[in-house]
Chains A and B, each alone.
Chain A
Amino acid sequence: MILGQDGVSSGAIYALLALALVLIFSVTRVIFIPQGEFVAFGALTLAMLQAGKVPATVWLLVAMGAIVAVVDGLARLRDRDTEGLGSLLGWNLVYPLVLAALLHAVEPSGLPMVLQIALTLAILVPLGPMIYRIAYQPIAETSVLVLLIASVAVHLILTGLGLVFFGAEGARTAPFSEGSLTFGEVSINLQTLWVVGSSLAFIVGLAAFFTRSLYGKALRATAVNPSGAKLMGISPVVAGKLTFLLAALLGVFSGVLIGPITTIYYDTGFLIGLKGFVAAIIGGLASYPLAAAGAVLVGLLESFSSFWASAFKEVLVFTLIIPVLLWRSFNSHHVEDEE
């Protein structure tokens, strides 16, 4: 039962990551390996806030914001397109600096948990679109392979930075609420409830976003037919940035959720992200519900195999996807052509 709980809660986190990966891939064709880094950064930034330190990630935000502001600003000036220059500078220069000042002004460890989480999100989520702008937008038209290699480069940079920011020691954050609920024989950890509950809330929220809102529909249109969407006036740049924003939100929030459950190191993100991948593959990088189901399956498999055959835990999890892939390949007969 405890194993089952562990499995479901890590499954819920993998589900969020899988959603982010499916989302990014279908809209921008980027296989976003650094998704796991958002998780690690989220958990560790929150841990630093709770330890009363100013998280170094805010300086990353300032630096990347400055790069975006300079690159885009110069381009706008060259095109004599001063419209929107204010919001460009506002978001990429002023906002990070204000945030940094705020963090220095307040004593973060004294804040209520909700505010700490909000600060973590405020620092990290804008990094998503900035990463898209700097790393991917200039090569958005190239092959999936080049985008993939760019992903690996971003992953390397972020892991390297993670070591600089957080050091080699791991950290754990305080749980949202202590204790557990008991139903007769069964006791359920409260943090597990938090994880599962908020993951579900997120999934429902995303579903609503994609079916109801104009931007959600625009993203779906881009995923189905990029050039058609472009002709209808949906900017691929905006779509890309929005996708990365959502993915960053999902990633950082997963990190916040997982922080109290396991110790996170600066490089933990990679394996977590990969497992999200496995889940995404089960969903064929296209179907959200299947990806979520796959994620729970991965979580359960991982937690049971870590109990029965801990040495082969990772082998089991990653070998699992081969039969799944097989099943998929037998079910899809059409030949792929023209990338």
Chain B
Amino acid sequence: MKRIVQLLALVAVLAVVPALLPPYYVTLLNYIGISALVAVGLVLLTGVGGLTSFGQAAFVGVGAYTTAVLTTSTSLPGWIAWAGASPWLALAAGLVITGLIALLLGSLTLKLSGHYLPLGTIAWGISLYFLFGTLDFLGAQSGISGLPPISIAGFRLDEGGEIYYLIWAFVLAAVITTHNLLDSREGRAIRALKGGVVMAEAMGVDTSRSRIVIFVIAALHACAAGWLYAHMQRLVNPSPFGLHHGIEYLFMAVVGGAGYVWGAVIGAGLVTLLNQWLQDWLPRLFGHAGNFEIIVFGLLLLLILHRAREGMWPALLRLFRVKAAPKVIVESAAALPRRTLPARGEVILEVKDVTRRFGGLVANKDMNFSMQAGEILALIGPNGAGKSTMFNQISGVDTPTSGEIVFAGQVVTGRDSREIARLGMSRSFQHVRLLPKMSVLENVAIGTHLRGSGGVFPSAWRMERPEEERLLAEAARQIRRVGLEAHMHDEAGSLALGQQRIIEIARALAADPSLLLLDEPAAGLRFKEKEALAELLRKLKAEGVAILLVEHDMDFVMGLVDRIVVMEFGQKIAEGLPEEIQQDERVLAAYLGGVE
């Protein structure tokens, strides 16, 4: 409610601004709006998704040039000529073209990890820019002029003060939809791209798809900005679409606060105004001999980076002590449908002759064991015995060199971890893999990913709210179940390590698994917490969930599990009931050192 009031106030301010300010400032605001539109896309792509792109200016250029060619050329072939009838049709055509180019470039470059990606974007950014300047039908260096103004229902937007409203309507729509998107099932998947890829895949998120999605969205924002720009200027030429401008858009996003949607608007405003004022004022101080504004601009940017490396928006939030309101959990939301668990005693997991080599090191050698539904099996062994490697083979994070793994009646060897997750396997990690800046609730909600289906577009326009309520309610239910309800809305990174492990369990449970893999769940827990955890695992077992755990705490293991598999040097050295294992000579030798 409060949010809507704030938004209406902002709309009111934006609406009266052109009447109050001189035309010069309205024009500036138009430029700010257009840049902000591009920067919002970058916030999603770079700030949230962690994919740095220098090439956005080229997409702006694609949008601008598409509309310029379509609306001015008189010699278009028949199959496309219809799109020149109105700028709006040209916008649609531009979005389609941009979408296709982005899909192509994305599928080529997004596989690149880390620092390759920004360099790849430099490459196609420059290539597209030089193409604008060399292709004859794009007017080469002189460009294309004489674009018609945009009209809405017969009303022509040919003044700066008129197109202003259209530009800022686009900006607001972009900001709001991006906000909504980030606060949804798809949004959690996107936010996991930065530093949580392995975890997200294990929770069933298709991270390659998420990458492409945000890349295309950012490109479409840029294309729309280019369309607005072309019809505001009424002419296009290559210069505003070069690499320098691509860098400037990135600047705006970073200066504003790369992870914050409103930061894009603040950043665009700050950078544009700074640029403009410096260009106005510095020549009066220093004369026209040099390009002083660029020097001062660079120095100011360094200063901002040094003083507020997170960007201006979070600094402002801190200044005014604004805190995000905790998410509302709708307790009355209908519970999510549950998986039908296999009958107790049915074999759910079979590991057959699995071997994993890393070069000369054999981490798992001819491992064989099987598990039944409703059974708790512990995998124990000294450090370095290959237990976590075994986990990774089973959950699809890694692929065995040879051997076969059968889960829920299907051979899963070599399949992606997200496919295996879909079959009902869920896991926690030995080294906690949470998104530390996200709340406990949202972290756990990632576990529900496969139990929802809300896509990008419905999320952006809040049409998936009923489902989202059910997902969050489920996440909250699992958090209560593991006893962390007091920390529901805290940042996951602020909790103690033992509690973070418990969050991992809640997240795994939120996926409604039939087989749960827990890697050292009791490490870092106090005695009472261990008892509570054991109680929880017994309850799950009673429901028919199979649990495979790696654990070093023998008191915890011995009182809880049904069977134990002992590993040493990558091989199974014993298997049996806890009492048998405690008497086994080879196990004792492995743990206590043999008698020479």
Contact = CB atoms under 8 A, between A and B. Distances in A.
B550 interface: no
B309 interface: yes
Given A315-B130, A339-B195, 17 more contacts: A31-B118, A149-B254, A149-B301, A149-B305, A150-B301, A150-B302, A152-B250, A153-B299, A156-B295, A164-B290, A278-B123, A314-B127, A322-B108, A322-B109, A325-B116, A329-B109, A329-B116
A277 B122 contact: yes
7 contacts: A146-B309, A152-B251, A160-B290, A163-B290, A164-B291, A321-B119, A325-B109
A274 to B, nearest CB: 7
B120 A321 contact: yes
Given A311-B134, A336-B197, A148 B118 contact: yes
A160 B251 CA distance: 17
A278 B120 CA distance: 9
Interface stretch (A137-145, A172-180, A223-231): A137-145
Nearest to A137: B306
B292 interface: yes
A154 B298 CA distance: 6
A157 B251 contact: no
B113 interface: yes
Given A312-B130, A322-B108, A325-B112, A157 B196 contact: no
Q: Which of B123, B131, B297, B301 has the most CB of A within 10 A?
A: B123
A138 B127 CA distance: 35
A337 interface: yes
Interface of B: 46, 50, 52, 108-109, 111-116, 118-120, 122-124, 126-127, 130-131, 134, 194-198, 201, 247, 250-251, 254-255, 258, 289-295, 297-299, 301-302, 305-306, 309
Nearest to A286: B115
A325 B107 CA distance: 12
Contact of B302 (A135, A160, A163, A337): A135
Contacts of B197: 335-337
A255 B201 CA distance: 48
Contact of B116 (A145, A155, A328): A328
Nearest to B292: A160
Contacts of B294: 156-157, 159-160
Interface SS of A by simple majority: helix
Interface string A317-334: 011011001101100100
A142 B108 CA distance: 28
A322 B124 contact: yes
A41 to B, nearest CB: 14
A330 to B, nearest CB: 8
Contacts of A31: 115, 118-119
Contacts of B251: 149, 152
Interface in A287-339: 311-312, 314-315, 318-319, 321-322, 325-326, 328-329, 332, 335-339
A153 B247 CA distance: 10
A157 B122 CA distance: 20
B61 to A, nearest CB: 14
A274 B122 contact: yes
A329 B211 CA distance: 15
Contact of B309 (A142, A274, A278, A315): A142
Contacts of A142: 309
A66 interface: no
Given A135-B302, A149-B254, A149-B305, A337 B198 contact: yes
A161 interface: yes
